[in-house]
Amino acid sequence: MNYAEIQYILLKFDSYRETKFGTIRISAFDPDNIIFRRDFKMIKEKLDEIRAAARKRIEGSLDLEKLNAARVDFLGKKGELTAVLKGMKDVAAEDRPKVGQMVNELREEIERSLEETKKRLESAAMEAAMAKETIDVTLPAKRRPMGHRHPNQIALEEMERIFIGLGYEVVEGPEVEKDYYNFEALNIPADHPAKDEQDTFYINGEMLLRTQTSGAQVHEMEKGRLPIRMISPGRVYRSDEVDATHSPVFHQVEGLLIDEQVTFSDLKGTLTQFAKELFGADTRVKFRPHHFPFTEPSAEMDVSCFKCGGKGCRFCKGEGWIEILGCGMVHPHVLEMSKIDPLKYKGFAFGVGLERIALLKYEIDDMRLMYENDVRFLSQF
Ligand code: DAH
C-alpha cells in the first residue's frame, strides 16, 4: 500500500461534524475528538467572507457613526473576527500559527481600511463645512444706518470753533433759572417794559425757564475771575406759537468779553471776523443802533446777503442785508450788580439765535423742519 492508499482508507474512518464554521472533519487519529481538525480551507473561506463583508460595510459607511458601528461589528469583542479567534481552540495545533497569522492579517487589513475611510470621511466633512461656511469677502459689508450731527449742532460747533480760535472758552448756564439772573441782574427790573417782550414760562414767582442765554453772563461775572472771554450756548424757552420763524424752545449762543480798555471797536472787529469766518471772507457787516437793557450802546449786526452779495434777492427779501445778532457794550450798572468795577473794566456782549444761523447757512426756509426729526430732511446735512 502506498501513502495515498493509506490516506484514502484512513479518510474513510474520519467523521464529519457541523459547527458554526461549517462542516469540519474529525480525524480518525483523534478518536476522543480532542482536536477538532478544522478544515483549513474552510477557515480561509470564512475569512474571505468576512473580508468581503467588511469591505462592503466600510465602503458603504457614509458617516463616521456608521463606520464606527462597522468597526464594532467586525473587530469588537463580540465581532466576527473575534469569533474566529475564539474558535482557535478548535483548530489543529499545527494549523494555529498559520490561521493566527491569517486572522491578524485580516484584522490589520480591516483596521487600515477603517482608518483610511475615517480620514476620507473626516476630510470630506471638513471640506463640506468649509464650502458651507465660505465667506465672500468681496460682498459689501452690512452697514447700520448711522445718524449724524443735527444742522443746529453743526452750526454750533462751527461757531465754537471760531470763538475758541479767538481765545474764548465755552461755558454752560442753567436752563431753569432764577428771575434774578434772567432779568434783574441784566438791568431788567420787575416793572421794566422789556420783560413784557419775552413771554416767559414761570415755574413759580422766583424760578422760570430762561428766555435768553444772557443770564450766563451774570453767572460768569459772579465767579470774579477776570478777564472774561466766553461763549455760552444753550436752550431757551418762550411762550410763542410755532410757525416758520418761531418755536417755544430754541437755542442761543451768548458771548461776553470783559477786560480793561475794551472799546466798541473791539466789538466790531470781533464780530466782523466772526461773520467772515462763518459766511465767507467777502461778507460785509453793518451795525444798526438798537436797544437792549443790559448793553449801552447797543446794536444789531447785519451781514451782507451771501446769496446775492448785497444786491437784493428773494433770500434777503430784497434788502441785501440779513440781521444775525444783537450786541453792545456791557451796561455799567450790569457790571456793578455783579461786583465788577465799571471804571476799571469794560466789556462787550452779543447774542446769536442758533437756529437763525443754521437756517441761513443751509438755506432752510422753515424752522419747524429743524425739530421734526424727519431723516429725509436731516440726512441732507
Ligand atoms: N438776549 C437777547 C435776546 O434774547 C440777545 C442779546 C442782545 C444778547 C444783545 C446780548 C446782547 O448779549 O448784548 O434777544
Check whether residue 364 and residue 283 sit in a common domain: yes
Contact indicator for 27, 37 with CB cutoff of 8 Å: yes
Check whether residue 227 and residue 304 sit in a common domain: yes
Regarding the beta carbon of 80 and ligand 1, being less than 6 Å apart is answered no
> Is residue 263 domain-resident?
yes
Count up the domains in the chain and report the number: 2
Check whether residue 330 and residue 189 sit in a common domain: yes
d(CA 372, CA 376): 10
d(CA 160, CA 352): 12
Q: How much distance in Å is there from the Cα of 299 to the middle of ligand 1? A: 10
> Is residue 101 domain-resident?
yes
Check whether residue 282 and residue 353 sit in a common domain: yes
Choose the residue to mutate in 181, 210, 214 for probing ligand 1, maximizing ligand atoms within 8 Å of C-beta: 214
Res 13: pLDDT? 64
- Matching residue, cell 444706518: 145
What is the Cβ-side half-sphere exposure of residue 206, based on CA atoms within 13 angstroms?
0
> Is residue 139 domain-resident?
no
Residue of the CA atom closest to atom 3 of ligand 1:
212
> Is residue 178 domain-resident?
yes
| Full domain range(s) for residue 206 | 151-378
> What is the pLDDT tens value at each position of the chain, 381 positions in all?
666 666 566 666 666 666 666 666 666 555 444 444 445 677 788 888 899 999 999 998 888 899 999 999 998 888 888 887 777 776 767 777 888 888 889 999 999 999 999 999 999 989 999 888 888 888 888 888 888 899 999 999 999 999 999 999 999 999 999 999 999 999 999 888 777 767 789 999 899 999 999 999 999 999 999 999 999 999 999 998 999 889 999 999 999 999 999 999 999 999 999 999 999 999 999 999 999 999 999 999 999 998 888 999 988 889 999 999 999 999 999 999 999 999 999 999 999 999 999 999 898 989 999 999 998 999 898
pTM exceeds cut of 0.75: no
Regarding the beta carbon of 349 and ligand 1, being less than 6 Å apart is answered yes
Residue of the CA atom closest to atom 2 of ligand 1:
351
Distances (CA, A) of 291 to 253, 327, 351: 19, 9, 13
Write out the H or E segment, with its range, that includes residue 111.
helix 96-132
Check whether residue 97 and residue 167 sit in a common domain: no
Choose the residue to mutate in 350, 355, 357 for probing ligand 1, maximizing ligand atoms within 8 Å of C-beta: 350
* 214 CA: nearest ligand 1 atom: 1
